Structures are given as structure tokens and as C-alpha cells.
Structure 1
């Protein structure tokens, strides 16, 4: 295909309840010269039939790829290989975008561009904090993410396809939590600059029933992902980024996910046992950031049970 500026990639698995709205939002763009690639990852509901019906009369170039259930990473990788656009955008099968999502992101020059993501829980909208700059160097952005100074989702970026394909950047198969963070970090590493627009153009739908059913203790798998990223940065002569992972991002990820489990009623002894099994207490103790967060970690490590009781009594929120 000629003159395809943007490839929009949507992986789908059993999303019959949502996929029609998602596809409609993509087809309703005020932008020209883009394609839509939908990968059905072996859905057992009628997602594939809905996808075909939604696309049967559109003039937007599109391709439906059907594969045996292999996971979202394999689905996205397959779509990247099939893509023709100068840039790549990802949309999840239960989210939706505003009509100006692509036109706001596309400039045809930068390695990456970014807009804001609104989180939607039922009828509740959680609006993002705007960025203070209109552009940022990718390494500076990576440092901010590793220090968790920003809230970031991989799908708020538009990626230059050349960077992805020439550096063979892929989603790691078999990972069910955090594969998108690894992909975004590696892609950003090979780029130079992100153009930022504070327009809210992506709506991320959080389903109340999904948090517990799909994660369990797999959320702690994010630690291995960041350890692998630290190895990646060390191999590419960026020890300062690797050190930030060890002394900031991993401890914060452990602490945040631990509180997620407490917040959702997981048994304290079971959570602590899992953390000890994975040696997460040692990894959490390596935190070297701000004193307030360091104090919270110190209190927990001194006496996890007392910390937990205080946390429950104060009805704390996830940190």
C-alpha cells in the first residue's frame, strides 16, 4: 500500500462487548492515509464476526489477521510485521479514541509523539495531569518514567515504524503484565525526541471485574521485566538508567503492587510469602529516592505486619 502514514494496531481476544465501539472510533478519524490492522487472537466468542461486520463497508484500508490463541504480544508482533505505515499506533480492544487522535499525534517528523490518556472506570473519569513542556528528549522522558514522576501508558505514543523495525523491537511473548512497558522503553531508547500534545484523545477503560481475575500475583512479574531492561541499558552503555531501575523503579513497582493486593483483599500472609519467595523484600530495600517513600519502605521492612495493620486502619490508597 502506498501513502500509508499511520498503521493502527488492535489485538483482540474475546472482546465482543467492546470491539465495535473501538473500531468505530478508529474509523471515525479526521485524518487521512491510515490503515487498520486487527489481530484476532483465537477469540472463542463472536469478536471475529463483529470485526468483519464493522469493517465490511469502510474505505479505510484494513486487514484482519486471525491466529490461534498465542497472547497479546504475539498478536501485536504479527501486526507490526504486516504494517505499512510510517508510524505505528496501538489501541486496545476495549478502549476508544477521539476523532482527532491520529491528527493530533501525526506530524511526519518526530520519532515519537504523545497525547493524554483518560482513565474511565464506569462513569468515573480520571483526567491525566498535563505535561509542562511541548517536547522532551527521550532519555529525559525515560528517567522521569523510571522515577515514576509521570503517569505513562505505552499506547499514548505514536512510534516511528522505522525505529521499531530496524532495531527489531518486539513484545516479549508469554508476559501477561508489563510487556508494553518493556516495548516502549526499548523503542524510546533508539529515538531522540517526543513531541507532546496535552490533548486528551485516548480513553482507557478499566473494568471493575478485570483487576483481580486477570492479574493475581503475575503483577510481580514486572520486576523481571525491569531487571531485563536494566541488563539492556547496561549492554548499551547506560549504567545510570540501569541504576535508576534498581534503586527507584523496581522498589516502587514492588511496593505499589503489594498495596494493590492489600487494597483488593488479598491475604496478608499469602502476599508476604510470595514476596519472600521472589526475594522482593531485598529488592525493595535498595530504594534510594525521596525520604517520604523511603520511610514507608523502611517501616514495612522493619515490621510488615504492623505496617499492614496501620495501612488497613487508615484505609490507605494504593501508592
Structure 2
């Protein structure tokens, strides 16, 4: 199975290399990063990394359009059988290889769990398919269809994207692997800005 790793990036110079290095390159059919109008060195770091990582494709927004637009553009450009979204300030834990090894085309979504910076885990289970929309999953690209990240004042755009996916009644596998490090809480993250009513 070909896997496209996707990430929006905005002023991510502090984290972007750690994120890129955490992607297992043996599983990376392509890595698509959308620089969403960064005003720091994010784009320069990406261009330098691209010299040694030919799987990296860089998309550029001349101005900041918001995370949802960057997510949607990454998805639109992806060509792999599956997509794996990783935020630019997060990184994969070594167990992601155990998850990726299970992506065999039998299921629409492969779920894993997240460890937060605060030291506790988000465990994704089957009790509520709409809960915890974030980056818990590897998704069959053909499942996505018209599902989009949205621009809303009341909630981050991944909620509507996740609900649209769940409404398609996808087949799922829960790997129970703790495979993602989530930079949470973080001031001025997408979640934090929505929580404070600033987006």
C-alpha cells in the first residue's frame, strides 16, 4: 500500500525537522507539506530537507489561509492509497512502524493512540466513532470523497472532516499502538486558538 504523509505548516521552524525525521521513510510513498504563509524559516528548512528526501513535495501558500485550507490542499494533492496526517508540531513514536505494517488494504481506517506532552494518553476505541477526531488514523484516500476540513469559529476544522468520514460507515481496525506524540497543550496551537475564541 502506498502511503501519503501530509502536514500543514505555519511558523513551524521549532518543530518541523523533528516531525519529518519521525516519518518512517521506508513507508513514505510521498510526504506533502503545505507551508501556509510562514513568516519564519519553515520554508527554508523544508527546501533544505528536500535535498536529501526526494519523497518530500512542498506546497506554498503566499499568505496564511488557515490550517483547514492547508489540510485540504494536502489531501487534494495526495496520490497514495492511504493518507496519514501529522501536524507539524507533533511527531510519530517508534510504534508507528507497527501501525504502518498493518496497513494492508483490508480496512478504510487504521486507528492508533496518542501520547500528549502533558504525559497522558488519548486512547481511541470503538465506543464513540465521532469522539476525538484528531490525528488518530490512517485513512483510505478513496474514502475521503467530499469530506473537508472546515473553517468555523466554534470548533476546529477536523471535527467536520471526521464526522463526514464517519458518516460513510468506514471499516476500521484498532491497532492499540501508542504511535503519536501530540504537542498538547501548546499556546497558540489550532486547538488553543479555538478554545480561546481567537479563530
TM-score of the two chains, using structure 2 as the length reference: 0.86
2:157 equivalent among 171, 174, 179:
179
Query: Which ranges in structure 1 are unaligned for 5 or more consecutive residues?
Result: 146-151, 222-319
Which structure: greater strand fraction?
2
Q: 1:5 aligns with which of 2, 10, 26?
A: 2
Hey, what's the Cα distance between the residues in 1 that align with 2:161 and 2:124? 23
Equivalent position of 2:81 in the other structure: 86
- Give the structure 2 partner of residue 63 of structure 1: 57
The number of residues matched between the two structures is 195
Cα shift at 1:23: 0.9
- Structure 2: gaps spanning 5 or more residues: none
- Go from structure 1 to structure 2 and tell me whether the alpha carbon gap of 1:83 and 1:103 turns closer, same or farther (over 3 Å shift): farther
Which string of whole-angstrom CA distances, capped at 9 and with x for unpartnered residues, describes residues 162-219 of structure 1?
0113xx1111135583211110111121133210011100000125533797346428
Instruction: Please say if residues 24 and 54 of structure 1, whose CA atoms lie closer than 8 Å, have aligned partners that are also in contact.
Output: no
The change in CA–CA distance for 1:154 and 1:130 in structure 2 (over 3 A counts) is: closer
Does the alignment pair 1:142 with 2:136?
A: no
CA gap 1:163/1:216 in 2 versus in 1, 3 angstroms: closer
Say whether 1:192 aligns with 2:167. Answer: no
- Cα deviation, 1:207-250, whole Å, max 9, x if unaligned, reads 5533797346428x9xxxxxxxxxxxxxxxxxxxxxxxxxxxxx
CA distance in 2, matches of 1:102, 1:173: 32
In 1: Cα distance, 2:50 partner to 2:165 partner: 30
Coordinate RMSD, CA, aligned: 2.6
| Post-superposition CA distance 1:95-124 (Å, at most 9, x none) | 000244255142221011100011113xxx
- Bigger Rg, which one: 1
Structure 1 contact 30–103 (Cα < 8 Å) conserved = no
Q: Which has the higher contact order (CA 8 A, sep 6+)?
A: 2
* Kept in 2: contact 1:35–1:85 (CA 8 A): yes
The corresponding residue for 1:35 is 30
Q: Is the 8 A contact 1:119 1:205 kept in 2?
A: yes
The residue matched to 2:38 in structure 1 has which SS?
coil
2:134/2:158 contact within 8 Å kept:
yes
Deviation at 1:130, TM superposition (A): 6.9
The whole-number CA distance in structure 1 between the counterparts of 2:194 and 2:28 is 37
Match for residue 197 of structure 2? 218
